């Protein structure tokens, strides 16, 4: 009997152990499911997500500057995107401009929604959206064809068109389609958000000579940089950050306006003066007298440089010598107005420039050249130009733009002034090549800080390798990679034969 009872006790004990183990597994599974659900609910909140950008230079997300500006917007702000292919020249020859651009925009808009949490409502409208909703939003926002993004906050709207977001090349006659040359979504979106949270827009009072045409893109550009430009015939009352712009002058000011401008400069209010090589002598002498305390003056003549040809030689004797390619090395790396431009590997076009030089000055101001030529430049006589250096013409490095700053600035009179020897920076054909320079210098004039025109994606900055780097890249591409592949194949071949 004792022998027969022993297995029964063992069986019952085994069943109890299995029941406890099953119960423990069920409880562990339930706890795991509960923990997984809690973790999913936690990380579903945009503010709790962690994102890694594994792309080169971390360019696949919004910059910290843009994210900070969007986050600072008040609650219930809206970002609306209209993804419609409306510009016919970007569709020719099977161009993929719109698909690539819209794919990139969708990624960045979703990133903006996640990064800002519940502050920003993002709405994306395209051909699959109910057309009644599209029409209602277009009417509400008063949308014009070509406008892509609308950023709204407390009744104020910033509109961004396709050219504001992407720089494209046009299709060519030989059948080449349009292509995206540069992306500036992050910069434009960050600027738009910054403008919406900005309470006071500094004015740029523009005294425009009717005979000096300005680019039609100048005013939208200045507005996009956070300024309120306005053409005036007399100087109104001003606030901190307001500045005066003289984009060229061919006639002397009327006595009343001349007195106002002279007093404005003497009081140390921010001023930008542009006078080209063909400005009248009376205008030049008047400004030189006004600028005497700042310590520099406009000189006579047209600054020229030899033209670099495709063979590497330097050519002279043509009017193109007066079109100067300003390389980053020619910008001041010490002055805050141009310091960050020297590291961007971009060239600028300065044409029709008269030189400037130090003259007079007082201990109230510091003065510094902003833009200079190379050592092979010379000053041509514009009355009888032959565009060749000669014995009676000034040669060597010439100053093209100069800046003055008061040692002890006070309030509305910081004493910041920039003088430049060309007016073509503001005209239609040359303005596109001057935007970065203008944005940086205007910001310094208004705020006294290093120009911040937004984060530019690194893939939009030109890559200019040296000759040595080109040779190294060619050796790696032609010899290194195929050679390594062949060597690796030989090693595998001999190992398999063993």
Mind listing the pLDDT tens digit of every residue in the chain (498 residues)?
445 555 555 555 666 777 777 777 788 778 878 888 777 766 665 555 555 444 444 456 788 878 888 888 888 889 999 999 888 888 888 888 899 899 889 988 888 888 887 678 889 999 889 999 999 999 998 888 888 999 998 878 888 888 888 888 888 878 888 888 778 888 888 878 877 877 667 889 999 888 888 888 888 888 877 788 889 888 887 777 789 999 999 899 999 999 999 999 998 889 999 998 889 999 999 999 999 999 999 999 999 999 877 665 677 888 888 888 888 888 988 888 888 788 766 788 899 999 999 988 888 888 999 999 999 899 998 888 888 888 788 899 999 999 998 888 776 678 899 999 999 988 888 888 888 888 888 888 887 765 444 434 434 444 556 667 777 887 888 878 888 888 888 888 777 776
Q: Judge whether 39 and 81 are in contact, CB under 8 Å.
A: no
Which pLDDT belongs to residue 458?
39
Cα torsion through 9, 10, 11, 17, rounded to 10: 110
Record the pTM: 0.58
Structural contact between residues 87 and 165, judged by C-beta atoms closer than 8 angstroms: no
Quick one: pLDDT at residue 88?
85
Q: Tokens 């594994």 map to which residue? A: 54
Bridge partners, 231 (sequence order):
206
The pair of structure tokens assigned to 22 is 């099953």
Structure tokens at 459: 């893939």
Residue partners of 381: CB distance under 8 A and separation at least 6 = 301, 302, 393
SS3 496: helix
Residue with tokens 């000053």: 379
For residue 310, what pLDDT is reported? 62
Q: Output the CA angle 483-487-491, nearest 5 degrees.
A: 170
- Determine the Cα–Cα distance for residues 19 and 2; give it in Å rounded to an integer: 27
* pLDDT at 149 (0 to 100): 92
Sequence-separated (6 or more) residues with CB below 8 Å from residue 281: 300
Report in angstroms the alpha-carbon separations of 122 from 113, 125, 184: 6, 10, 19
Residue found by looking up tokens 């495709």 in the block? 310
**Count of CA atoms in the C-beta half-sphere (13 A) of 3:** 0
Structure token pair of residue 80: 């609306």
* Beta bridge partner(s), residue 204: 229, 243
Rounded distance, CA 55 to CA 183, Å?
A: 16
Q: What are phi and psi of 228, to 5 degrees?
A: -115, 95
């Amino acid at each position: 009997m004792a022998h027969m009872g022993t297995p029964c006790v063992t069986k019952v004990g085994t069943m109890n152990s299995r029941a406890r183990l099953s119960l423990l597994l069920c409880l562990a599974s339930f706890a795991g499911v509960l923990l997984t659900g809690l973790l999913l609910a936690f990380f579903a909140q945009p503010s709790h997500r962690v994102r890694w950008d594994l792309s080169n230079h971390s360019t696949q997300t919004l910059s910290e500057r843009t994210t900070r500006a969007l986050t600072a917007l008040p609650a219930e702000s809206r970002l609306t995107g209209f993804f419609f292919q409306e510009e016919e020249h970007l569709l020719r020859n099977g161009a993929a401009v719109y698909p690539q651009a819209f794919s990139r925009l969708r990624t960045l808009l979703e990133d903006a929604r996640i990064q800002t949490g519940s502050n920003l409502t993002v709405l994306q409208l395209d051909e699959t959206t109910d057309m009644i909703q599209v029409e209602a939003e277009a009417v509400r926002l008063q949308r014009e064809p070509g406008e892509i993004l609308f950023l709204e906050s407390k009744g104020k709207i910033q509109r961004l068109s396709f050219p504001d977001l992407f720089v494209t090349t046009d299709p060519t006659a030989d059948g080449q389609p349009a292509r995206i040359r540069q992306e500036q979504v992050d910069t434009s979106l960050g600027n738009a958000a910054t403008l919406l949270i900005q309470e006071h827009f500094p004015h740029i009072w523009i005294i425009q000579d009717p005979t000096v045409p300005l680019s039609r893109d100048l005013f939208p550009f200045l507005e996009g940089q956070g300024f309120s430009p306005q053409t005036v015939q007399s100087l109104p009352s001003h606030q901190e950050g307001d500045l005066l712009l003289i984009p060229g002058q061919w006639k002397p000011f009327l006595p009343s306006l001349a007195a106002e401008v002279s007093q404005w400069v003497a009081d140390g209010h921010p001023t930008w003066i542009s006078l080209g090589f063909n400005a009248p002598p009376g205008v030049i002498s008047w400004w030189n007298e006004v600028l005497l305390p700042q310590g520099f003056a406009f000189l006579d003549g047209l600054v020229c440089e030899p033209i670099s040809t495709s063979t590497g030689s330097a050519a002279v004797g043509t009017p193109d010598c007066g079109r100067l390619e300003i390389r980053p090395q020619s910008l001041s790396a010490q002055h805050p107005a141009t310091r960050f431009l020297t590291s961007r590997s971009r060239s600028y076009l300065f044409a029709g420039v008269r030189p400037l030089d130090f003259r007079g000055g007082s201990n109230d101001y510091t003065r510094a050249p902003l833009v200079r030529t190379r050592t092979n430049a010379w000053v041509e006589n514009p009355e009888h130009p032959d565009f060749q250096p000669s014995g009676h013409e000034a040669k060597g490095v010439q100053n093209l733009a100069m800046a003055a700053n008061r040692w002890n600035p006070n309030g509305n009179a910081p004493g910041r002034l920039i003088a430049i020897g060309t007016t073509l920076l503001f005209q239609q054909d040359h303005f596109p090549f001057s935007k970065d320079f203008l944005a940086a210098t205007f910001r310094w004039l208004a705020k006294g800080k290093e120009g911040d025109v937004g984060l530019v994606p690194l893939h939009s900055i030109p890559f200019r390798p040296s000759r040595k780097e080109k040779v190294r890249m060619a050796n790696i591409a032609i010899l290194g990679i195929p050679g390594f592949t062949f060597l690796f194949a030989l090693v595998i071949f001999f190992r398999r034969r063993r």
